Amino acid sequence: MDERARELLRHVTALERRDESLAAEIARVVRLEARVGAVRARSSELEGFFAALPSLAATAEKAERASAAAVEEASAVIAEAERRVTEVERSRRKREDELDQARRELNRAREERIDAEAAQQRHAERRAELVDAERTSRAEAKRLVDDARAVSQEIAGVRRAPDSGRTAPGVESASLQDWGGEVRASLFVARGGLETEREHIVDEANALGSAVLGEPLGASSVAVVRRRIAERLGVCPAGTDPGLHLWARD
């Protein structure tokens, strides 16, 4: 192979390496976009929960107090019903239908207290759940801030990202919405610039391949162009990949 052909293949190989590097950069930006989106979405959910928490806690507390009052009321009704049953049982003119009625009322009062106690237990558990949810959510919010800071550090190394997207988030999860919006916009710009840069490399490789092969290649990948040029120049048999080792000694 003459020096001109060797230089031609070196050039298209360099284009392929650059294309692979850009593809990796773009994939990195896409991953960062996904991480920022996840942080932003989850922080929005948490902030919504924190905003609703006072109302939820007040409702649960009110319901628990109401059920506790219902338990006390049911206990008072039971006491009165028990007194009535005892009174009828001790009456010298005891009537069975009257005694049955008193016992039914006693049973009904006991069932109502059971229901009231169950409701009180449910509301107490709900309040406890809210306390636990707040504690775990606060901890998660702190982790989100830490995740956002880690993402921010990675973005510092992203080419073409505007400086507006390189700022670190605040210390509160509420700041992640504005931060996430700025970062996503910055990454969008960076990805667009990198994709345009990659398109130029693909266009250059296709133009070079068309000149060497004497036929239009359309939108072939840089790797395909390099392989076809290598085959035309006799570096490798058709259908095989010469790789880059052929130039390691040059």
Tell me the whole-structure pTM to 2 decimals: 0.74
Helix (H) or strand (E) holding 46: helix 3-90
pLDDT tens digit string along 52-111?
A: 999 999 999 999 999 999 999 999 999 999 999 998 888 877 688 888 898 999 999 999
Q: Which token pair is 15? A: 């284009």
pLDDT one-digit tens code per residue, 196-236: 999 999 999 988 888 888 887 776 789 988 888 888 877 65
Per-residue burial over 200-228, b if 16 or more Cβ lie within 10 Å, else e, is ebbebbbebbeebeeeebeebebeebbbb
pLDDT tens-digit series, residues 116-149:
999 999 999 999 999 999 999 999 999 999 999 9
pLDDT(42) > 90? yes
* Full residue range of the structural domain in which residue 65 is found: 3-247
Number of structural domains the chain divides into? 1
Cα distances (angstroms) measured from residue 148 to each of 51, 154, 167:
21, 10, 10
